[in-house]
Each structure stands twice: as structure tokens, then as C-alpha cells.
Amino acid sequence: MAGMHALHKILADKARPQRTAVTPGEFLEIEPDIYSAIVGVNAGEVRRLAADLEELGIKALPLRERIFASADHASPSPTVAFAASHKAWRDFYRSYGIKVFDGGAGVSHLVMVENGIVLPGSMAIAVDSHAATMGAVGAYATSLGGGRLTLYAIGRYWIEAPQVTLVRIVGQMKKGVLGRDVALYVNGRLGQRGAYGNAVEFAGPFVEALSMDLRFTLCNMGTEMGAVASYIQPDAVTLEWVKKRTAKPFKLYETDPDFAYDGVHEIDVSGIDPQIAVPHAPDGVKPVAEVEGRRIDQAYLGSCASGRLEDFAAAAAVLKGRQVHPDVRFIATPGSREVLKEAARLGYIDVLHEANAIVTNANCGACPGLHGGILAPGEVAITSITRNFEGRMGPGAEIYLASPATVAASAVEGRITNPLKYL
């Protein structure tokens, strides 16, 4: 029989009953290692969930020790309605003994890996659509497609084993080009349906040389290619990063040499310049130079796409000794408390403050358009968030996606700016 991908081997082990083999297209009942939930903004939803569990007579959740909730959306609460919803969800989780990451812990995908909860070889189901970010550690991480009640009530979930698309990246970045530029470039080349319904594996010498921060950025972009999961094969870089965060055992899986990928793409990034995605699609990507000069109202750094330490380092390198343009609001939202603490220790936060940027607590911030930098109709933003669909950060606004360096350079000049002259 044909070989198996590492992701399918993870599914085989998590299937109930366990399987010796899994082929793409099969439906499996799996028991995940982790369910990453959120402290939501819809109180009616949690009331229905609690009522359903009561009707089923569920008093103890089978996955209780494996469920972790993060207060990352609209946190702290910007309205009374959101505060009431957050309270309803917190009360629900606490009534069942579920761990809640609250008070600025950060975006769930970062919190789960930084705290050694999602590990290489693990199976993680998450509420948020950018769960694929966690595939950078070699986990099978995918977002919830429904069936939340079954996870709470019986601890199981149905998964269709996906085909896998391989994206092999070669070459070296030019000076001033960042990992987010590469992620945007790949998304522009493959498009929003480039891995639709598939998992996507990122590999090649370029990926092998990346830091973990930039591997998370790359895997995050898999969602914008339509992928149900992203994956990077764990290596020495992965293991060094993970073992600093946990002493728990984990299992490494490897793809068989004869596994048949559903499409292989080789992309050379040696010659690319800083990239930007223009409104209103994350795959509408072109060189920054083609839209340079566009006036902006807001620059925004953060999200699970680019809210990590290296992103703050890049922004600080541009801003050091400079000021944000007086007509621009520059908002910086760390992806996690770990990022915020380390950025403060290394002086990046001081640089941002001296430049008149606004630094917030760690959370999803303006990315889902709930608070922390929402745009008015007609305003223009350049940002490092996940996507730039119409209405994402406010109705009637324009969103340009770019690297942290491009965002910072644009904040200084008050218009979309190529960051090369600042680096």
C-alpha cells in the first residue's frame, strides 16, 4: 500500500478505535489531545451549550483536563454586552473545572504552544480558524467545523483525513525582506484555494533555516490558502524550542518516502522584494513598490500572524530614533504575554513608546474587528493581521497586509512605504 503522511499517522493514533493506516478521504472518529476553546462574545451560545449538556445528563466532561479556554477576543471587554458574554463563558468553564487563560495571556494558538500544551505529534482541535498556526511544532491542529457538543459530551470529533499539498520553498531572503513577506508571496502565488480542503506542508531549505517565530507565521498563512491544517516536520530547531517549554513526552511522526502528495509547488524566494496584499483579499499580493505612497490613517502590528518577538524586533529597528507620523495611529498588540515581557526586556517596547506608538495588552486586538483599533468608514490601514477581507476591521475601510517592517516604515511616513531604506 502507499505510504502515509505524518499527519495521517497522527490521525491513525488518535482514531477510536486506533488504526494502523489512514488514507485521504476517510472519515475518522478521533479523540484529540487538546481542545483549544475561547471565552466567547456570544452569551446565547454558551447558554445553549450548557442547556444541551444538562439535557444529556453530562455532569463531568470526559476531556476536562484537555480543554483550555483563552480570553483572547475583545479582551478586556470593550462593551457591557461583551463583558456579559465573557462572564457567561467564564462561569461555564469554571463550573466544569476547565482551565481559563485570562487577563492578557494572549492569542490561543501562541498560548497553547508557548505553554507546552500543544506538542509535536499531538492532535489539537480549536475554535479559531487560524489553528493551523500550531502546525509549526509538528502537530495536527485544525479548527472546529461544527460538533462542539460532541467534544464536550463524549470527547470525540469527526475528521476527514485530508489530502496533503507540499509547498517547497528555496532561496534566501534579501536584506529587508521578512518571513511575513515570504508568507504573503506564497499566498499570492497559490491563491485562496491553493490548498483548499487539504493540509499543507511547508518544507525545503528555506523553511529548515527559519526560526520558530517565522515558522508560525508561515503556517498561519495556510488558513488563507484554504488549508484545514499546516505542517512543518519537527527538526532540531523545533525540539530545542519545545524542550524549553515542557518536560512532557511527545511522539515524533515522519512521512513515508513513497507518500503521494496532492500537488507539489516549489517556490524560490531569492529575488522577492517586500510584499503587500491589497484590499480586499489576502492573496491580492504585489510588491510594496507598486502601491507605495498610498495615504494611511492607521498602522497596526499584531495578531497570530505577526505578533511574535521577531515581529516586534523588526518594527523597533525601523522606529528607533524616529516618530510615528502625526496623522497616523500606530497600534502594537503582542501575540502573547511571553512576547510582551521579552519585548520589554529587550527594549523594543520602550522604542515603540518613544515613537508615540500605542502598545496594548496581549490579545487578538483589532484583527477580528471587535476592539483595539477598529477603523472608520473610508479609513486606510496597513497591518500585519491575518486577513484583509472587506469589513474585517470596520465597514467601509481599506486594509493592506504587510510585514512588521513595512507597517512600521509606513507609520513613520504616513503613507505606504518600502522599508528597505530603514533597514
- The average pLDDT across 156-182 equals 95
Between the CA of residue 85 and those of 88, 146, 170, 290, what are the distances in Å?
5, 20, 46, 44
pLDDT at 2: 80
**Quick one: cell of 356?**
508615540
| Proportion of the chain in helix, strand, coil states, percent, rounded to 5 | 35, 20, 45
Contact in structure between 32 and 127 (CB atoms under 8 Å): no
Contact in structure between 336 and 419 (CB atoms under 8 Å): no
pLDDT at 148: 87
Separation between Cα atoms, residue 88 and residue 107, nearest integer Å: 20
The Cα angle at residue 230 between residues 107 and 243, in degrees rounded to 5: 65
Q: Residue 145 — very low, low, confident or very high, per pLDDT cuts 50/70/90?
A: confident
Nearest to 363 by CA among 387, 332, 397: 332
pLDDT at 251: 97
Separation between Cα atoms, residue 315 and residue 313, nearest integer Å: 6
Query: Which residues are 401's β-sheet partners?
Result: 277, 383
pTM score over 0.75? yes
Q: What percent of the chain has pLDDT over 70?
A: 100
pLDDT at 176: 86
- The average pLDDT across 226-244 equals 98
pLDDT at 216 over 70: yes
Q: What percent of the chain has pLDDT over 90?
A: 97
Place of cell 474587528: 369
pLDDT at 103 over 90: no
pLDDT at 146 over 80: no
pLDDT at 129 over 70: yes
Between the CA of residue 361 and those of 69, 106, 367, what are the distances in Å?
18, 8, 14
**Quick one: cell of 259?**
507518500
Q: Residue 86 — very low, low, confident or very high, per pLDDT cuts 50/70/90?
A: very high
Give burial (CB, 10 Å; 0-12/13-18/19+) of 240.
exposed
* pLDDT tens for each residue of 50-85: 999 999 999 999 999 999 999 999 999 999 999 999
Separation between Cα atoms, residue 344 and residue 339, nearest integer Å: 8
pLDDT at 175: 87
In the sheet with 275-277, reading across from the earlier edge strand, the strands are 285-287, 275-277, 398-402, 380-383, 298-302, 329-333, 358-359
Q: Residue 321 — very low, low, confident or very high, per pLDDT cuts 50/70/90?
A: very high
H helical segments located in 320-374: 337-345, 348-354
- The average pLDDT across 113-131 equals 97
Return the SS3 of 245.
coil
- The average pLDDT across 101-124 equals 96
Q: Residue 1 — very low, low, confident or very high, per pLDDT cuts 50/70/90?
A: low
Separation between Cα atoms, residue 77 and residue 75, nearest integer Å: 5
Separation between Cα atoms, residue 83 and residue 72, nearest integer Å: 13
CATH topology of domain 7-19+27-265: Aconitase; domain 3 (3.30.499)
pLDDT at 307 over 90: yes
For the chain, the structural domain boundaries read 7-19+27-265, 275-422
For residues 73-101, one letter each, b for 16 or more C-beta atoms within 10 angstroms of the residue's C-beta and e for the rest, the string is: bbbbbeeeebeebbebbbebbeebebbbb
- The average pLDDT across 219-226 equals 96
Cβ-defined contacts of 148-151 (< 8 Å, 24+)? 148/49, 149/49, 149/52, 149/53, 151/32, 151/35, 151/63, 151/125
Please give the helix or strand (H or E) that residue 34 lies within, else none: strand 34-38
What mean pLDDT is reported for the chain? Answer: 96
- The average pLDDT across 284-300 equals 97
Arch. (CATH architecture) of 275-422:
2-Layer Sandwich (3.30)
Helices 212-220 and 179-190: crossing angle in degrees, nearest 10, is 30
Nearest to 405 by CA among 330, 340, 313, 331: 313
Between the CA of residue 222 and those of 17, 191, 216, 270, what are the distances in Å?
30, 10, 10, 21
Contact in structure between 42 and 74 (CB atoms under 8 Å): no
pLDDT at 158: 94
**Quick one: cell of 294?**
498610498
pLDDT at 122 over 70: yes
* pLDDT tens for each residue of 6-63: 999 999 999 999 999 999 999 999 999 999 999 999 999 999 999 999 999 999 999 9
* pLDDT tens for each residue of 251-261: 999 999 999 99
Whether the domain at 7-19+27-265 and the domain at 275-422 fall into the same CATH topology = yes
Contact in structure between 324 and 355 (CB atoms under 8 Å): yes
